[in-house]
Amino acid sequence: MLDDYKDTKFYEYAKNLKKYYHAYIFEVSNLDDSYDIILAFAKSIICKNHYTNKNNCLDCNICHLIDNNYYPDLKIIKPDGINIKKDQIQAIQKDLSLKSSNGTNQVYIIFEAEKMNLSAANSLLKFIEEPEDSIFAILVTVDRKQLLPTILSRAILITLKTLDQKDYDLEMLEALTKFLNLIFEKKEEALPYVKESFLDKYKNRDEIITAFNYLEVILDFLINENYQINTFENTNLYDIIKANLANISFSNLIFYLQKIVEFKNDLINVPNLNINLFMDRFIIEMSMR
């Protein structure tokens, strides 16, 4: 239940939603451990009384049917063999083309979404590009980077993935934390800083890709921080991240993370990229929020 997460930023986000977005991507460390919170979020979309007032529905008939996998307006897709296939996506689309007989929102959850084959992913993309007001998608993955960038760009990303500090250069994380602070807090100074400092430190495409990986780590930490033992708790970096970036709202963190993923995909996939113009565009788009 979402109440199990009442001390987290995600709970605050879910409780205060005025309107649900048409598609969500949950990036998780472990599918089994994340099942309950994914189902709780789906319930909050379907059940009109669930986590929307002080007298929560607790165990109404709708939620009871969802718990037992009998509710017709909740569809769940899992891999058929090693992949999720196009006909599975099309079958869900056909089912959801019929209006809800219960008058509730309709939700479909795709577990292990990174296992969609290309035709399935393209079929899903066409579906979420023209969303119905009462139909909501939840994609669950252990690695969002395996999803189509076009799907990533059309969904709200919520990362519940844990981080491990031993995998990272703490000095690099500290420098990039201060770089993000400059973008968010001193926008007029950010572009000159990129010209004079960022591109002096990260000189080629591979080094810039690594830097963008680290920018992801910093935002993941801020989004994740209440889901785990604080990753950098015994380092100076914890205080530096909190001091520089603590005031960013949850929704903005998600927006910035999506931007970083989008720009990193360009770094990886676009040939003959003009790095100077690329960084100008990155700073401008990140500082406009």
Tens digit of each residue's pLDDT (9 = 90 or more) over 187-221? 666 677 777 788 888 888 999 999 998 898 888 77
103 in the same domain as 57: yes
Q: Is the pLDDT of residue 90 over 80?
A: yes
Look at the chain and report how many structural domains it folds into.
2
Model pLDDT, residue 62: 81
Does 139 share its domain with 243? no
pLDDT (0 to 100) of residue 153? 77
Structure tokens at 261: 């993923």
Which one of 141, 159, 177 terminates a domain?
159
Shared domain for 84 and 123, answered yes or no, is yes
Distances (CA, A) of 170 to 36, 174, 181, 244: 33, 6, 16, 15
Distance from C-alpha of 115 to C-alpha of 108, rounded to nearest angstrom? 16
Q: Of 159, 179, 194, which closes a domain?
A: 159
List the domain range (segments joined by +) for residue 10.
Answer: 2-159
Averaged pLDDT of the chain: 79
Whole-model pTM over 0.95: no
What CA–CA distance (Å, rounded) separates 287 from 133? 31
Tell me the range of 12-16, 77-81, 131-135, 270-274 where mean pLDDT is highest. 77-81
Return the SS3 of 51. coil
Give the residues across from 140 on adjacent strands.
26, 111
Q: Is 195 helix (H, G, I), strand (E, B) or coil?
A: helix
